[in-house]
């Protein structure tokens, strides 16, 4: 007997889903909606594995809806466009990131800040305006409103482009908004994973000097030789951290585990900014004295659609390409385990086009 997910929409779809908080993913038949007049339908070729996918698959944020098809770093080729679609045509290379809808009328939406709309709809695990649950990019097809689709320029291969749709925009947006994109600035990046390595690449492309702050000494050589990092601090080494005190204009903190803010704030010049893009599940301690030198602690969440397109175009023009490990779909559970141990340089990308095949 077909499940609700299989029949609620007219078009068959196939993906891999988590069924419960074990987070284990397995084949899943479901369906996608008819391509509406403003919709873009595309064949998914690649999907990045974001750490959020792991958190959601395991219900760590306590709002997961099962079955859950993760994936919000999705790239592919357009197969159909609705009658009112203006920006895309069949055959175009496109991508979808973390959002598939927003209210479109509030002040934030009107200012290209869909990511701050109080009623945005996430690409997976969220309730869409038609009452159904959204399913993400670990699947063979996607349908999304044109407004939430971005064009992937020719200079960017689709596998490499995928992580830009979440990791890329999540660090690009605050580097721009908080004016940490001026040549000659000294920018720190805490954590060297998917987000962190993108922050390094964008900051270097902006002409900054980059210091990575990490708990893992074994990442140092790669960071310097391969990523072009200018210096590397082990956060537990108090002497190193002390020597770097007051040297950074701004810091992008990508760490989502609970961690001390004080040693990071101390690295800032006065004035200086720490921007958190990881979300620890407990509040962090903020020693107010450390902020006296006009230092700020702030946060940022993905980016608006206009900004996401701008970021993709910038990445294509300036050769900012994520470092990826392409995997077949049936490796995904192992990849999740390795991701949990931060054993990846620096983003897994699922080769959907070549390896996700429905058995039916």
The answer to whether 31 touches 8, Cβ cutoff 8 Å, is: yes
Among the listed ranges 30-38, 191-199, 293-301, 334-342, the one in contact with other proteins (CB under 8 A) is 293-301
Among the listed ranges 52-60, 223-231, 292-300, 309-317, the one in contact with other proteins (CB under 8 A) is 292-300
**Shortest Å, Cβ 164 to other proteins:** 19
Among the listed ranges 22-30, 137-145, 276-284, 325-333, the one in contact with other proteins (CB under 8 A) is 276-284
Length of the chain measured in residues: 360
Residue among 17, 167, 277, 356 that touches other proteins (CB under 8 A):
277
Site for other proteins in 162-191 (CB under 8 A): 177
Distance set, CA 108 to CA 111, 112, 171, 307 (Å) = 5, 6, 20, 13
Residue among 63, 228, 257, 262 that touches other proteins (CB under 8 A):
262
Tokens 């940490």, residue? Answer: 180
Q: Is 1 or 289 the residue whose CB approaches other proteins more closely?
A: 289
Q: Is residue 113 close enough to count as binding other proteins by CB under 8 A?
A: yes
Q: Is 120 or 206 the residue whose CB approaches other proteins more closely?
A: 120
Q: Is residue 290 close enough to count as binding other proteins by CB under 8 A?
A: yes
Among the listed ranges 18-26, 35-43, 203-211, 275-283, the one in contact with other proteins (CB under 8 A) is 275-283
Q: Is residue 123 close enough to count as binding other proteins by CB under 8 A?
A: no
Q: Is 90 or 258 the residue whose CB approaches other proteins more closely?
A: 258
**CA angle, 304 then 65 then 167, to 5°:** 30
Residues 6 or more apart whose Cβ sits within 8 Å of residue 237: none
- Angle between helix 167-177 and 194-205 (nearest 10): 50
For CA atoms 118, 122, 127, 128, give the dihedral sign: positive
327 phi/psi in degrees, rounded to 5: -130, 155
Strands 141-145 and 74-81: unpaired
Among the listed ranges 26-34, 132-140, 277-285, 340-348, the one in contact with other proteins (CB under 8 A) is 277-285
Q: Is residue 270 close enough to count as binding other proteins by CB under 8 A?
A: yes
Residue among 126, 296, 326, 344 that touches other proteins (CB under 8 A):
296
Alpha-carbon span 141 to 223, nearest angstrom: 36
Q: Is residue 283 close enough to count as binding other proteins by CB under 8 A?
A: yes
157 torsion bin: left (phi>0), alpha (psi -120 to 50), beta (else): beta
Alpha-carbon span 283 to 262, nearest angstrom: 14
Residues interacting with other proteins, by CB under 8 A? 108, 113, 116, 177, 262, 270, 273, 276-280, 283-301
């Amino acid at each position: 007997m077909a499940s609700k997910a299989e029949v609620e929409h007219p078009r068959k779809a196939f993906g891999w889903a988590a069924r419960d908080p074990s987070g284990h993913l397995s084949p899943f038949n479901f369906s996608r909606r008819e391509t509406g007049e403003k919709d873009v339908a595309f064949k998914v070729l690649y999907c990045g594995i974001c750490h959020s996918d792991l958190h959601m698959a395991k219900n760590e944020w306590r709002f997961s809806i099962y079955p859950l098809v993760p994936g919000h770093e999705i790239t592919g080729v357009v197969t159909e466009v609705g009658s009112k679609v203006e920006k895309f045509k069949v055959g175009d290379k496109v991508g979808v990131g973390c959002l598939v809808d927003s209210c479109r009328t509030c002040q934030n939406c009107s200012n290209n800040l869909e990511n701050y709309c109080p009623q945005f709809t996430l690409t997976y695990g969220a309730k869409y305006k038609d009452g159904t649950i959204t399913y993400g990019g670990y699947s063979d097809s996607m349908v999304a409103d044109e407004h939430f689709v971005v064009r992937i320029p020719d200079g960017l291969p689709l596998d490499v482009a995928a992580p830009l749709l979440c990791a890329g925009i999540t660090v690009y947006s605050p580097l721009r908004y908080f004016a940490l994109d001026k040549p000659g600035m000294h920018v720190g990046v805490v954590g060297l994973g998917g987000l962190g390595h993108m922050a390094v690449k964008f900051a270097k492309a902006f002409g900054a000097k980059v210091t990575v702050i990490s708990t893992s000494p074994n990442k140092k050589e790669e960071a310097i030789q391969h990523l072009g990092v200018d210096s590397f601090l082990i956060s537990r080494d108090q002497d190193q951290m002390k020597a770097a005190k007051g040297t950074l204009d701004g810091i992008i903190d990508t760490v989502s585990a609970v961690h001390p803010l004080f040693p990071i704030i101390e690295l800032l010049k006065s004035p200086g900014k720490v921007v958190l893009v990881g979300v620890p599940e407990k509040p962090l301690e903020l020693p107010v004295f450390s902020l006296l030198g006009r230092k700020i602690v702030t946060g940022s969440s993905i980016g608006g659609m206009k900004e996401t397109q701008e970021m993709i175009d910038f990445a294509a023009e300036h050769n900012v390409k994520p470092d990826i490990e392409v995997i077949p779909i049936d490796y995904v559970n192992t990849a999740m385990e390795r991701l949990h141990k931060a054993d990846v340089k620096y983003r897994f990308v699922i080769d959907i086009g070549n390896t996700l095949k429905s058995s039916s």
